[in-house]
A and B are shown apart, each in its own frame.
Chain A
Amino acid sequence: MTGTALQVYHLARRSVVRQARQPANVVAPVIFPLALLAVNSGGLQSATTIAGFPTDRFVAFALAIPFMQGALFATMNAGTDLARDIQTGFLSRLSLTPVRGVALILGQLAGVAFVATVQAVVYVAVAYAVGVHPRAGAAGVVVLLGLAIAIAIGFGAVGVFMALRTGTGESVQGLFPLLFVFLIISSMNFPRNLIEVGWFRWLATANPVSYLIEGLRSLVIEGWNGEALALAFTISAALITISLVACGLALRTRMTRT
């Protein structure tokens, strides 16, 4: 293993072990979205009787939402962990070593990827348990997992950026309501073409989170929808790229070596 790869490995291992040692960080992002899925799919089942609704089971329609909520939790966890490293002086001590910034960020995101994978596998298992079989089949499930992990890494990088920029866990936690607004004002509960209130439909259309949800959802209720998947992967790739660039810039200030 090269020097950088070794650094990434060690920091990634630390990040994964750290996540695994905090059951609340793993369990809460799994349980809470599933409880909401149960409530919403029960309460909104009658919505499927509306003409044009794309499926006759709301739980299948809503299955994409836990993946997004899980990604939001990942943002908080990744950011809060790094902020703690900054507050406790771990990052300052790390900056005395030859560790590279890229290794630090990638290592941190490995923990996010680990939790996201656990979450996604549980969500898919629950879907099968309640009789929802993704229309895209087994290959579709693999793509679903890949997209879910990519989204979680994108949001996780946002959390890492916030931690590097502000250096406090409180500031990272303060980001949650803002990201939650993006989730709420999206097509998470209804298809965009069936949203009746004009301004809400406009906002949901302008909101990139709608396309992430629709990409995940397409694999479950439609099968292979190239356009929805292309949009979802493009947006998650853009989110990852922009966030990582921002992280790199913030890291230069945070890990100034004198």
Chain B
Amino acid sequence: MRDEAEYKGDSEAVGLGARRCRDAVGVTAVRDFRNVSLAVAWRTLHNVLHNPSLLLPGILFPLLNFVAFFGGLSRLRHIPGFDYPPGYAGFQFCFVLLQSAAFGGVFTGFGIARDFEYGFSRRLMLSAPRRSGLVAGYAIGALFRWLINAAVVTAVAFAAGMRVEGSAADVAGIYLLAVLVNVAFLFWACGVAMRFQSVQAGPIMQTPVFLILFFAPVYVPLKLLQGWIHALASGNPITRVLEANRGLLAGQPVEVGAAYLVTAGLIFFLGLWAVFNLRHAEAKG
């Protein structure tokens, strides 16, 4: 007969074993997630860097907008009430940086859709032990892809005479906000790609992003907008991010907390959207 102490010892041993087992499973899960996400990120980046037709649109699109807005509309800085110390190049840089971040995510979404269309994603899902790592991997790939675009846009803005009035921390804040926007819109595009599994869903990916960006105060500060566009821009969450970025560049931070809240909210909800559609794609097989 085993006494009570022996039973207690056994159950403690079982508990310890179960904990160790759980820990081991947890470690494996983290490792699987990391391996899958890094592999997908590497592949995304490798494809972009080795194919100019994938790399160039992401760079040229914001760059052309910067050229058009800065070159063609600089006189807007003379409008009464337009007072922005970094100049019109800086004013447009903040928008174009966010635009490049958002479309960096969207362009990566095209790649995801293409992977589904060619059947690569099905094979990827069969081989990936942690499928949520796929979304994370695409996000990491999109982020590194966007860093190239951001470097080019920044260099061109400096060449155009942009002045930075903010501190190093302010500048870091500008790029951090852009990173968060990149992640958020990658989640959006990833969700759409996984739902429709076709490049033909491209307009669904990019049109809402295009509209939400352009319904922000792109050309002049919010206070100078009039009528329906002012009402729309005031309620547009991206306006908070844009105004915060412009404030940080000018060394006069405004709405920074609101901007981080907005981007965190976008990442949360669009992240859910991406995971929800990942499950949809899994179920579809």
Using a CB–CB distance below 8 Å, which chain A residues touch chain B?
28, 35-36, 39, 42-47, 49-50, 174, 177, 180-181, 184-185, 188-190, 194-197, 199-200, 203-204
Contact = CB atoms under 8 A, between A and B. Distances in A.
A201 B101 CA distance: 29
B218 interface: yes
A46 B226 contact: yes
Contacts of A184: 64-65, 67-68, 72
A194 B211 contact: no
Contact of B225 (A42, A181, A203): A42
Contacts, number: 84
A195 B53 CA distance: 32
B217 A43 contact: yes
Nearest to A51: B78
Interface string B70-109: 1111111011100000000000000000000000000000
Contacts of A203: 71
Interface string B201-231: 0010000000100110111100011111100
Contact of B79 (A42, A47, A197): A47
A245 B29 CA distance: 65
Which of the four size classes fits the interface of chain B?
Answer: 20 to 34
Given A39-B215, A47-B76, A197 B71 contact: yes
B60 interface: yes
Contact of A200 (B72, B217, B219, B226): B72
Given A35-B211, A43-B219, A195 B75 contact: yes
A43 B229 contact: yes
Contacts of B65: 184
Nearest to B214: A39
Contacts of B217: 43
Contacts of A199: 71
A184 B70 CA distance: 11
A28 B210 CA distance: 15
B229 A49 contact: no
A190 B76 CA distance: 10
A43 B71 contact: no
A42 B211 CA distance: 13
Interface centre among B74, B75, B218 (most CB of A within 10 A): B75
A49 B227 contact: no
B64 A180 contact: yes
Nearest to A184: B68
B57 interface: yes
A43 B68 contact: no
A200 B69 CA distance: 10
B280 to A, nearest CB: 25
A197 B72 CA distance: 7
A50 B225 contact: no
Given A35-B211, A189-B68, A194 B220 contact: no
B52 to A, nearest CB: 11
Given A47-B76, A50-B78, A174-B53, A200 B71 contact: yes
B64 A43 contact: no
A195 B217 CA distance: 20
B226 A50 contact: no
12 contacts: A43-B219, A43-B229, A45-B229, A49-B80, A50-B78, A184-B64, A184-B65, A190-B73, A195-B71, A195-B74, A195-B75, A197-B74
Contact of B218 (A35, A43, A190): A43
A204 B68 CA distance: 10
Contacts of B215: 39
Given A50-B75, A190-B75, A43 B225 contact: yes
Contacts of B70: 197
A165 B238 CA distance: 43
Interface centre among A42, A44, A50 (most CB of B within 10 A): A42
Nearest to B224: A46
A64 to B, nearest CB: 14
Contacts of B78: 50
B225 A46 contact: yes
B120 to A, nearest CB: 19
A47 B64 CA distance: 21
B227 A45 contact: yes
B53 to A, nearest CB: 7
Interface centre among B64, B73, B74, B227 (most CB of A within 10 A): B73
